[in-house]
Amino acid sequence: MCMPAKDKTIPSLIKWTGSKRKQAPLIAREAKSYNRYFEPFLGGGALLFLFAHEGAVASDIYKPLINLWKLIQSEPEEVISDYTEKWNALNVEYKQLQLNHIKNSNGLPKVFYDCRSRFNKTHNPLDLNFIMRTCVNGIVRFNGEGEFNNSFHLSRQGMKPEMFAKNVRIWHERIKGVYFECQSYEETLAQAKEGDFVYFDPPYADSHNRYIKDLDLQNFFTELDKLNSRNISWALSFDGSRAGTNYFSDMPKELYKRKLSLSNGNSAVSKILNSKQEEVTESLYLNYN
Ligand SMILES: C[S@@+](CC[C@H](N)C(=O)[O-])C[C@H]1O[C@@H](n2cnc3c(N)ncnc32)[C@H](O)[C@@H]1O
């Protein structure tokens, strides 16, 4: 049986909206020992860093994201050199923008916007990596056509390549034995057995357009119920509150045994939408005591 690692911080790797990087060590403290780990709403996989062991299954419905995970696993040096090349080109252009005192740089820097257009045509995971790291507040956002539409973060240039390289190599070591799958969460759950542990971080009910796919809540609750009858332990990050306003969904009481409230720091999404920072807390539901 395995237990999660005890690291207090998670190296930043894949920028993903709704990331659990800050909460991950708190959530890991609540885990039971487990045989295999399953993370069916992977995103930036903050929990995966602590829970990954041989045979873990990590999945997401969004293909370019899973392709990026697979590249970090199989070709870390290619991921590093691609980011370094793009970052260096961006840096040259960025310095030029500053020299020319361009404040309203519509369509600039070209390195970022060309990369974004290319990604929206080809879905190359390396392009996704670069625009995620350099867009406004690192917020991954799509329009109705599923195109990445966040802009360049004018006052930041993204993580320095040396730091990025270090983080990629650390993560690469951690995820060596993990199976990455692009599939819907139900397919992933079908592989879980008694003794396994599942961590869920589904999209918020109100997160339309932030991710590629919204969640059918009734179907999701049915899947949790099935896990309960198969004696599979799970933890679920779900609803919560932001700046004193509650965003609770009707989580059926018979599905879980414990509910905790964890702080997730300030909301990057609300910061960009309302230009103010708001304290966010999220609920963690557990189906065991
Ligand atoms: C809140 S994010 C996960 C964030 C992650 N815990 C982290 O730390 O970065 C939710 C993820 O669920 C994925 N998703 C949405 N609907 C899905 C579905 N039906 N099956 C599998 N994944 C889905 C989205 O693509 C998104 O990456």
The residue among 168, 202, 233 that closes a domain is: 168
The DSSP string of 89-131 is HHHHHHHHHHHTT-SS-TT--HHHHHHHHHHHHH--HHHHHHH
Q: Counting beta carbons within 10 angstroms of the beta carbon of residue 9, is it exposed (0 to 12), middle (13 to 18) or buried (19 or more)?
A: exposed
Task: Answer yes or no: is 68 within a domain.
Answer: no
What is the distance in A from the centroid of ligand 1 to the CA of 181?
13
Contact 202, 215 (CB under 8 A): yes
Residue 154 sits in the same domain as residue 189: no
Ligand 1: atom nearest CA of 62 is 25
Q: Which pLDDT score, from 0 to 100, does residue 155 have?
A: 79
Q: Which domain holds residue 226?
A: 24-61+183-286
What is the distance in A from the centroid of ligand 1 to the CA of 217?
14
Residue 54 sits in the same domain as residue 192: yes
CATH number for 248 = 3.40.50.150
What is the distance in A from the centroid of ligand 1 to the CA of 158?
23
Task: Answer yes or no: is 237 within a domain.
Answer: yes
Residue 215 sits in the same domain as residue 255: yes
Nearest-CA residue for ligand 1 atom 8 is: 19
CATH number for 139 = 1.10.1020
Nearest-CA residue for ligand 1 atom 3 is: 43
The residue among 112, 134, 168 that closes a domain is: 168
Ligand 1 site, residue 44, Cβ cutoff 6 A: yes
Residue 82 sits in the same domain as residue 57: no
Q: Which pLDDT score, from 0 to 100, does residue 25 have?
A: 94
Q: Which CA distances in Å does 6 have to 3, 9, 27, 28, 259?
A: 9, 9, 11, 8, 22
Q: Which pLDDT score, from 0 to 100, does residue 212 have?
A: 46
What is the distance in A from the centroid of ligand 1 to the CA of 141?
13
What is the distance in A from the centroid of ligand 1 to the CA of 150?
18
Residue 83 sits in the same domain as residue 157: yes
Nearest-CA residue for ligand 1 atom 5 is: 43
- Two tokens, residue 209: 């357009």
Residue 187 sits in the same domain as residue 282: yes
Task: Answer yes or no: is 4 within a domain.
Answer: no
The residue among 168, 200, 217 that closes a domain is: 168
Residue 147 sits in the same domain as residue 209: no
Residue 270 sits in the same domain as residue 215: yes
Most informative mutation of 22, 42, 72 for ligand 1 (most atoms within 8 A of CB): 42
Residue 152 sits in the same domain as residue 194: no
Integer-rounded Cα radius of gyration of the chain = 19
Ligand 1 site, residue 43, Cβ cutoff 6 A: yes
Residue 190 sits in the same domain as residue 158: no
Ligand 1 site, residue 18, Cβ cutoff 6 A: yes
Task: Answer yes or no: is 241 within a domain.
Answer: yes
Ligand 1: atom nearest CA of 21 is 8
Q: Which pLDDT score, from 0 to 100, does residue 27 have?
A: 95
What is the distance in A from the centroid of ligand 1 to the CA of 165?
25
100-140, pLDDT tens digit by residue?
766 655 667 899 999 999 999 999 999 999 999 999 988 88
Q: Which pLDDT score, from 0 to 100, does residue 209 have?
A: 44
Please give the Cα distance from 156 to 106 (Å, whole number).
16
Residue 42 sits in the same domain as residue 94: no
Task: Answer yes or no: is 282 within a domain.
Answer: yes
Residue 247 sits in the same domain as residue 282: yes
Task: Answer yes or no: is 262 within a domain.
Answer: yes
Task: Answer yes or no: is 5 within a domain.
Answer: no
Please give the Cα distance from 80 to 85 (Å, whole number).
9
- Provide the domain count of the chain: 2
Task: Answer yes or no: is 175 within a domain.
Answer: no
In which element (H, E) is residue 199 found?
strand 197-200
Per-position pLDDT tens, the chain of length 289: 999 999 999 999 998 888 888 899 999 999 999 999 999 999 999 899 999 999 999 999 999 999 999 999 999 999 999 999 999 999 998 888 777 766 655 667 899 999 999 999 999 999 999 999 999 988 889 998 889 999 888 878 889 999 999 999 999 999 999 999 999 999 999 999 999 999 999 987 555 444 445 688 899 999 999 999 999 999 999 877 766 666 667 789 999 999 999 887 655 555 555 555 667 788 999 999 9
Nearest-CA residue for ligand 1 atom 17 is: 61
Q: Which of 197, 220, 221 is nearest to 38 (CA)?
A: 197
